C-alpha cells in the first residue's frame, strides 16, 4: 500500500517538505516525484509558478499492523511502547518492548493472541493477500513453545503407556501445531484436533486406538472367589453361614439353658406338687 501527499512551494525542496509534513513522516523516510518545477516571474511581474511535488511512502502489511497496534496501545495507556518489525517468510514478527507491558500478555497469552488477531486483519487488508503477523512480549512465545513441547511429549508417552486418550485444553491453531509436532517425536503416539471454534483442542492417544482394560486387572486386584465373600481362610468364596437371630457363627454359639422346674407351683385351683 502506498500513502502519498501532493504539495506546492516556492522551490522543489519546500514543496517536498510540505508533502512529508502532510504524511507525518521525516523527509528522509519518504520518496518523491516532481510534478512541476518552479518558474520565476518574468521581470518580477508576469508568469511564474510554484513547484509541485508528490511525496509518498510504501506501507508494508507489517507497517500497517504496527501503526494499528500503536494506536490501540496508546488507548490502553501505553504510548511509549517500541515495536520492532522482524520480517519473516510470508509474514513478520512484531516485538513489543517497554515498561510495564507484561499485562498485555493476559491469562495464557489470551490478550496477546487477541491483539495479534486484530493486527493480522489489518495487515491482510493491505495487499488483500495472506500475511502472517506474530506478536511477542518479553520472549513469551519462545517460553510458551517450550512448555507446550514438553507437555505434548509427556502426554504422548502417557497415552502409549496407559493405552488411553487424553484431551488437552482449547488452544489456537499456532499452539495446536506445536503440540502435533511434539507428539510425532514419540513412537506409538498420535494426535488430532476435535471441537469447533474456541473449543477446538488436541487429543493424544495410542496409534492403535484405546486399549480395553479388564476390570480384574485394575489396581488393587480382585481377590474374591467365584461366588463373592470369603472362605474360612479369607481367600475368597462364601463367608461362614450366620444365624439371622445372632451375629455370631453357629458353631460358636452355646446351647440354651434347660428350663427351670419348681418344686411346688401355685395355681388358682390349688398347689401342684412335683411328686
**pLDDT value of position 109:** 87
pLDDT digits (tens, 9 = 90+) for 153-186: 999 999 999 999 999 999 988 899 999 999 999 9
pLDDT at 257 over 50: yes
Q: What letter does residue 120 receive in the DSSP assignment?
A: H
Query: Mean pLDDT over residues 98-106, rounded?
Result: 85
Between CA 261 and CA 272 the distance in angstroms is: 12
pTM: 0.56
Cell of 87: 520480517
Given a contact cutoff of 8 angstroms between Cβ atoms, the answer to whether 66 and 95 are in contact is no
CATH superfamily of this structure's domain 61-138: K homology (KH) domain (3.30.300.20)
* Half-sphere CA count of 112, side-chain side, radius 13 A: 23
Does the domain at 142-206 match CATH 3.30.1370.50? Answer given as: yes
Q: How confident is the model at residue 225 (pLDDT cuts 50, 70, 90)?
A: very low
Which residues are bridge partners to 133 per DSSP?
92
pLDDT at 151 over 90: yes
Q: Where are the domains of the chain?
A: 2-58, 61-138, 142-206
- Spatial strand order of the sheet with 166-170 comes to 166-170, 201-206, 189-194
Cell of 185: 517425536
Amino acid at each position: 500500500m502506498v500513502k502519498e501527499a501532493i504539495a506546492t512551494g516556492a522551490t522543489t525542496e519546500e514543496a517536498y517538505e510540505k508533502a512529508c509534513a502532510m504524511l507525518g513522516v521525516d523527509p528522509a523516510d519518504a520518496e518523491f516525484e516532481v510534478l512541476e518545477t518552479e518558474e520565476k516571474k518574468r521581470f518580477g511581474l508576469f508568469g511564474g509558478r510554484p513547484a509541485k511535488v508528490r511525496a509518498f511512502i510504501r506501507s508494508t502489511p507489517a507497517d500497517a499492523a504496527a501503526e494499528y497496534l500503536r494506536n490501540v496501545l496508546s488507548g490502553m495507556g501505553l504510548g511509549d511502547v517500541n515495536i520492532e518489525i522482524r520480517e519473516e517468510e510470508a509474514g513478520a514478527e512484531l516485538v513489543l518492548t517497554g515498561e510495564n507491558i507484561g499485562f498485555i500478555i493476559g491469562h495464557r497469552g489470551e490478550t496477546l493472541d487477541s491483539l495479534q488477531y486484530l493486527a493480522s486483519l489489518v495487515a491482510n487488508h493491505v495487499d488483500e493477500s495472506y500475511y502472517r503477523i506474530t506478536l511477542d512480549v518479553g520472549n513469551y512465545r519462545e517460553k510458551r513453545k517450550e512448555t507446550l513441547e514438553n507437555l505434548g511429549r509427556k502426554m504422548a508417552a502417557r497415552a502409549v503407556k496407559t493405552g488411553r486418550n487424553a484431551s488437552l485444553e482449547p488452544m489456537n491453531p499456532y499452539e495446536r501445531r506445536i503440540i502435533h509436532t511434539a507428539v510425532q517425536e514419540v513412537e506409538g503416539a498420535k494426535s488430532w484436533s476435535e471441537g469447533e471454534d474456541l473449543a477446538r483442542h488436541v487429543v493424544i492417544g495410542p496409534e492403535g486406538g484405546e486399549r480395553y482394560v479388564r476390570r480384574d486387572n485394575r489396581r488393587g486386584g480382585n481377590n474374591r472367589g467365584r461366588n463373592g465373600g470369603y472362605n474360612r481362610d479369607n481367600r475368597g468364596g462364601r463367608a461362614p453361614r450366620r444365624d439371622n437371630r445372632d451375629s455370631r457363627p453357629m458353631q460358636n454359639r452355646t446351647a440354651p439353658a434347660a428350663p427351670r422346674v419348681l418344686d411346688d407351683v401355685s395355681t388358682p385351683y390349688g398347689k401342684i406338687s412335683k411328686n
